[in-house]
Amino acid sequence: MNIDLVRWVARQTAGMAAGLARIHEYPGKVDGNMENAVKYGRHGDIKPENILWFRSSEEDLGRLVISDFGLGVFNSKRSRSNIPNDSGIGRTPTYRPPECDIEGAMISRSWDIWTLGCVYVEFVTWLLGGWELSEHFAEWRMTTSSICGQDFKSDIYFDIVEVRVPKDDDTSSRSMGAMVKPAVTRWFDGLHNDRGCSQYTHDILRLVQDKMLIVESAVRKRATCKEVYEELRRIQRRCVESKGYCVKPVPFPLPAASGETPAVKIRLNDNALDTIKRNHPRLRTHQGRTEEPPKARGGYGDKLLAPTKVALY
């Protein structure tokens, strides 16, 4: 890989996180009072099409900027914690988080962390293999929709599954679950195994896997945007300090079996249930690791924001 390109990617990923962090906690005024008050914003529709390239006197390769805040909103701390997801919210189907289908899930800034994680893994895919590999990734994760049925293919990053948990009497309990799509998990394995994968690309992939592209549960939460930015700044500094960190290939061996991420027990919201009733899909059975849903108020998330209207499907 070209070291200038790698360092540019490191700067741009950190810069996008910095910009989003400022949106997530934006200083403002309340009721005309000059006293500063933090407002909590979200973008709501982060996707590659909403990231614009600009010429820059400071960057030979230009600068990437998150754009299109038409679906974004700001609320004060007082009102950020009481908006359910069934009010309708802007989201692009490919990148929408699993909370879109979950009863009691709330509209949260962590939605942006999921969608930004999707963008980052596609950015690293492009860095390692160009547009050809990027297009292959889109095809790779195009699987039968877990909700819309056998005749509908979807490239979203998560699956709705039937969770079966063994009981002491040799029976099993059944519930619905949400998990990162196994095809996505296997794709991460393939990128780590890529012959051009450096320690830099390993580190940014691990950040996405471990702190961004996760289904939130009682034991796992997505990172805040500030935490993502701080980690990307640390990674960027290492890129400046070490050429080997940027470009020396250190591919990981492929695991003998690609481990699935845990499924999180959920209850589907009315929109998702109505879609299932219409299409009668055959849900994939998950018998692996299972986690309980979040125990925070409302079940999912405590940083909630007013939505904008858009159809779910």
CA angle centred on 193, ends 123 and 93, rounded to 5°: 40
CA nearest neighbour of 47 among 100, 94, 109? 94
User: Residue 257 pLDDT more than 80?
Assistant: no
Cα gap 216→212, rounded to integer Å: 10
Which amino acid is residue 258, in one-letter code?
A: S
User: Residue 127 pLDDT more than 80?
Assistant: yes
Q: Which class is 3-291 in CATH?
A: mainly alpha
Structure tokens at 47: 């996707």
Average pLDDT, the chain: 83
Extents of the domains making up the chain: 3-291
Phi and psi (nearest 5°) for 151? Answer: -90, 5
Are the beta carbons of 12 and 56 closer than 8 angstroms?
no
The stretch 66-85 carries a mean pLDDT of 50
Cα gap 152→258, rounded to integer Å: 25
Could you tell me the pLDDT band of residue 292, with boundaries at 50, 70 and 90?
very high
The stretch 138-164 carries a mean pLDDT of 87
Cα gap 232→47, rounded to integer Å: 19
Cα gap 158→233, rounded to integer Å: 28
Could you tell me the pLDDT band of residue 76, with boundaries at 50, 70 and 90?
very low
Q: What percent of the chain has pLDDT over 90?
A: 57
User: Residue 37 pLDDT more than 70?
Assistant: no
The stretch 115-136 carries a mean pLDDT of 97
Segment among 115-119, 146-150, 199-203 with least mean pLDDT: 146-150
pTM: 0.84
CA nearest neighbour of 23 among 305, 311, 308, 212? 305
What pLDDT shows up at residue 259? 73
